[in-house]
Amino acid sequence: MNDLIPHNRPMVTDEDRSAVDTVLRTGRIASGEEVEELERDFDTIYGGGASCAVSSGTAALLVALRSLQLGSDPVVAVPTYSCSALLNAIFFAGGTPLVVDVSRNDLNMDLESLEGAIARHGRSPDVVVAVHSFGAPADVQALSSVGAPVIEDCCQSLGGAIGAEPIGGFGAASVFSFYATKIVTGGHGGLVRDRDGVVAEAARDFRQFDLRTDYAPRFNVHMTDFQAAMVRSQLRRLDWIAERRRSIASRYLATLPTHVLVEAGIEEPGRMVYRFVVQLANQQRRDEVRSRLSEAGIQTIVPIERFELLHRYLGLEPAAFPVAEAMTDLTLSLPLYPGLSDAEVDHVVAALETVRW
Ligand SMILES: *Cc1c(COP(=O)(O)O)cnc(C)c1O
């Protein structure tokens, strides 16, 4: 095999293409019935509640923050080991981030790190954004013990479950992204939902800026019907996507020596393996593994680089975020997505067997 195996590659099937084409042929290509059907699909997955589809995961988080009626300048707890989209949503919602370190175990915000951040800053959050990083479920129940509502960021965990419960049904609201690299995609897109429908209703009001009899600042965060059709088409194979991802992960796991750490619970039955992230002993070893795989034609990424850590963007003291700082030196993400062919998986496994870990 001479072709490079990219770290990620969206999978678009004939069914996806035909679902999009069907919408394009109707001549009604803005937001309409397909978007409503997508919202209903999510209500079915979660066994009730209400959903509002929007233009991106960032927009979903922004409208969730606005819709929770947190008062002016809310303090929003976020994990530092995450993407800058979180900060963007917080600032545009008029909030202030309370940046929290993560646990080495699952790379998620944990109660101890959150309590540490609260103690350091002397302020309690008005809301906590719990990111289920790389598919690993954050402990939403534990995090809510600080007394603030929790928004579950499910952008990397759609299709995952804890026992029989889909991830994202516990918090005050949950948000999803359909960006090109996510679990299911429409190119771009997002969705916000909640159990009692208060957040989804406020989100709908925010989105519907046109032809209103009253004026309030609202915003065009619509999703198009052809994006929704593509997302819906992919949702129909969500179980297969989850299974394919788990089976590739178990092939990789079988080759790894025990001193190489992966996220806790990665082998649990309902787990959505969004990224396969390994933790090496030190930075030199990580870089060696990376070049060895690159020589074998396998592209890997450092899932989050040091400069991307949210506390770095905000110019906060790095010493307060030791785990996230260390993770940027020790981690590597291997290609893992349903569009990998069996031959490509075999090739990666063969290369992993030659690596000096
Ligand atoms: C992708 C992602 C977002 C942002 O979603 P966009 O659709 O790119 O705006 C937010 N949070 C997490 C954890 C993500 O992975």
- Among 86, 155, 272, the mutation site with the greatest number of ligand 1 atoms within 8 A of its Cβ is 155
Would you say the C-alpha torsion 257, 258, 262, 266 has a positive or negative sign? positive
Would you say the C-alpha torsion 113, 278, 160, 75 has a positive or negative sign? positive
Residue whose token pair is 């989100």:
203
Non-local (6+) Cβ contacts of 185 within 8 A are: 10, 178, 179, 230, 231, 234
Ligand 1 centroid–CA 255 distance in Å is 31
Rounded-to-integer distance, Cα 228 and Cα 19, Å:
9
Confidence of residue 3 (pLDDT cuts 50, 70, 90): confident
Ligand 1 centroid–CA 121 distance in Å is 27
pLDDT in tens, 217-267: 999 999 999 999 999 999 999 999 999 999 999 999 999 999 999 999 999
Closest C-alpha to ligand 1, atom 2: 155
pLDDT in tens, 174-229: 999 999 999 999 999 999 999 999 999 999 999 999 999 999 999 999 999 999 99
pLDDT in tens, 41-65: 999 999 999 999 999 999 999 999 9
Q: Are 180 and 174 in contact (CB under 8 A)?
A: no
pLDDT in tens, 69-98: 999 999 999 999 999 999 999 999 999 999
Rounded-to-integer distance, Cα 257 and Cα 264, Å:
15
Whether this prediction's pTM lies above 0.95 is answered by: yes
